[in-house]
Amino acid sequence: MEEELEEIQSSSSQEEITLVSIKVGWFYFNPVSKRGRTLHLIQMLVLPFIPIVALIAQNCIAMSNALKNQAAVNAVTLQVQDAVEIGKLLRALQLERTELGYYILSNASSTLRMNITTVYEQTNTIIENMRNWPELNEGDKQ
């Protein structure tokens, strides 16, 4: 009798084990069945990757923004370099004009100031070293 009772209890416990279902999200699955184990394995593999994928996406967006900002900074740097080169050219032309005026007023005497050919050579060197010449539009030619 006791053996029958044990068999009934063990069979009923097996039925209880097989009847257990776990709610995961919107569906239920039995962790003892093959399909349930497969679903549980997929769930355990996929869930850790969600934050990893989110971090990868976030870092891609941040890197894209950083590259755009770097390109903008490089463009501004080039504009500043062009402005400095134009400023150097204007200074050289003004110095050339000053030296030429002094040369003419001193009756071609070059003992006190720089030699006029030296000033011309300095201006020519600055012109040759110009990286970019500004473009003139039709409205600028007045």
Least confident of 1-10, 16-25, 84-93: 1-10
Domain segments of the chain as ranges:
21-51, 72-132
Cβ neighbour number for residue 113 with a 10 Å cutoff: 14
Separation of alpha carbons 19 and 17, rounded Å:
5
Rg (CA), the chain: 42
Name which residue leads in pLDDT, 37 or 15. 37
Split at pLDDT 50, 70, 90, the class of 103 is: confident
| Cα 28-31-34 angle, rounded to 5 deg | 105
Average pLDDT on 100-114 reads 73
Residue 35 pLDDT more than 70? yes
Separation of alpha carbons 42 and 121, rounded Å:
77
pLDDT in tens, 68-97: 999 999 999 999 999 999 999 999 999 999
The pTM of the full predicted model, rounded to 2 decimals, is 0.55
CB-side exposure of 98: number of CA atoms within 13 Å?
9
Q: What percent of the chain has pLDDT over 90?
A: 37
Residue 15 pLDDT more than 50? no
